[in-house]
Amino acid sequence: QVQLVESGGGLVQAGGSKGLSCAASRRTFSTYDMGWFRQAPGKEREFVAAISWSGGSTLYADSVKGRFTISRENGNNTVYLQMNSLKPEDTAVYYCAARRIGISSLDHQYNYWGQGTQVTVSS
């Protein structure tokens, strides 16, 4: 069992930046591949970014490529999402998730989820 807790959400103006963190409860965090997803009101949850257990591989949704950066610190059991050049359409609840055996953009392949943190981008 892995418990995940996101933080860093809040209100930001369009064009601004915000960083999200996701802290994991287990020392075996370094064996999990991690992902960030988001869900806007009235929309389905969508993939944002993923990173392999070692940090050596990353994957991004086209909508955030070049603006968002996923990273991790295994020593701190934490994965990050740095979001730059934010747009109103980035407004959503952001979730981190964990799985083993390869990074994935498919939410049903993730076993553990955080409770989410709200990011609101004002125009």
Give CA angle at 68 (97, 99), nearest 5°: 20
Say what the pLDDT of residue 27 is. 75
pLDDT digits (tens, 9 = 90+) for 29-70: 889 999 999 999 999 999 999 999 999 999 999 999 999 999
C-beta separation of 36 from 50 below 8 A: yes
In Å, what is the CA distance from 25 to each residue of 16, 30, 49, 122?
30, 11, 21, 33
- Check whether 26 has a pLDDT greater than 80: no
Give yes or no for residue 11 having a pLDDT over 80: yes
Report pLDDT for 76.
Answer: 93
- Sequence-distant (≥ 6) Cβ neighbours of residue 123 within 8 angstroms: 14, 88
Query: Terminus-to-terminus CA distance in the chain, angstroms?
Result: 39
